Structure 1
Amino acid sequence: MTKTEIAKAFSNGEFEKTYDFIAKDAEWIVVEEDKFSGKQAIIDNCEQVGNYFKSVTIDFKTLNIITDGNKVVINGTAEFLRDGKRVSFVSACDVYEFNEDSQIQRITSYCIQSK
């Protein structure tokens, strides 16, 4: 997978596809919410989020993908539905930084939930 494909898969909740591309000492910062240090902590959180994703229908929309060297930035939206009704709507921007081995070294996520 390319860096862009890895980043897009992660941003769209296809976490399992990205596990082989996460550096052992990576970190994931969800601004104003949480921080996960190390590959296993990131995978553990992905599994929790993935379980929630299985309980809803999600409409991901990717608006922009910007790449520059070892960085990929993706912004988009996610609408979460249950029984045809909106549970939540999130506008998000994920900044991915890759190391020299094309593994994710850092993810910084900005998530704004609609009221």
Structure 2
Amino acid sequence: MKHSKKEIAELFSNGKFENIMDYLSDGIVWNVIGENIFEGKNAVKKNCEQTAEYFKTVETYFKINDILISENKVIVIGTAEFKRGGKRIDFISACDVYEFNEKNEIQKISSYCIPEKNT
């Protein structure tokens, strides 16, 4: 099944990585601002696999607040809440900026993840 740029970005931002692996360019760069940079399809796939394993250990609640689309970019703005045993363990406000090449593959992701401060 062929996905639109919007669908690809939405699936990735919601942690449904297995559905979009064919849409990663070989030279993809994923910059999780201030944390990590993953360069190349294998590095991005490995990080997606590790993240998916973490998601299996918690309850995840993703909410998309807005999606902005231009010719080769999709911006997904939303939140992610993680719970374990019914207790919130993390809450993230996020903005993912996806840049696509002419083959409809993601060539760059810039992820801005801001954790809620515990008071």
TM-score (norm 1): 0.99
Report sequence identity in percent: 52
1-structure distance, mates of 2:107, 2:62: 24
2:76 matches 1:81: no
- The runs of at least 4 consecutive aligned structure 1 residues that moved more than 3 Å come to none
The secondary structure found in structure 2 opposite 1:61 is: strand
Q: CA shift at 1:30, angstroms?
A: 0.3
Counterpart for residue 39 of structure 1: 41
Aligned match of 1:58 in 40, 60, 67? Answer: 60
Question: 3-state DSSP class of the match of 2:15?
Answer: coil
Q: Structure 2, unaligned stretches of length 5 or more?
A: none
Structure 1 match to 2:8: 6
Taking the aligned partners of 2:14 and 2:30, their CA distance within structure 1 comes to 15
CA distance in structure 1 between the partners assigned to 2:16 and 2:64 by the alignment: 14
Structure 1 residue runs without a partner (length 5+): none
Distance (whole Å) between structure 2 residues aligned to residue 3 and residue 74 of structure 1: 11
Work out the CA distance in 1 between the residues paired with 2:95 and 2:115: 12
Structure 1 residue 107 displacement after superposition: 0.2
Q: Quick one: which amino acid aligns to residue 4 of structure 2?
A: T
The residue type paired with residue 99 of structure 1 is: N
Task: Quote the offset at 1:19 in angstroms.
Answer: 0.2
Query: Using the alignment, how far apart are the partners of 1:27 and 1:4 within structure 2?
Result: 19
Q: Structure 2: how far apart are the matches of 1:25 and 1:77?
A: 28
What is the total number of aligned residue pairs between the two structures? 115
TM, length-normalised to structure 2: 0.96
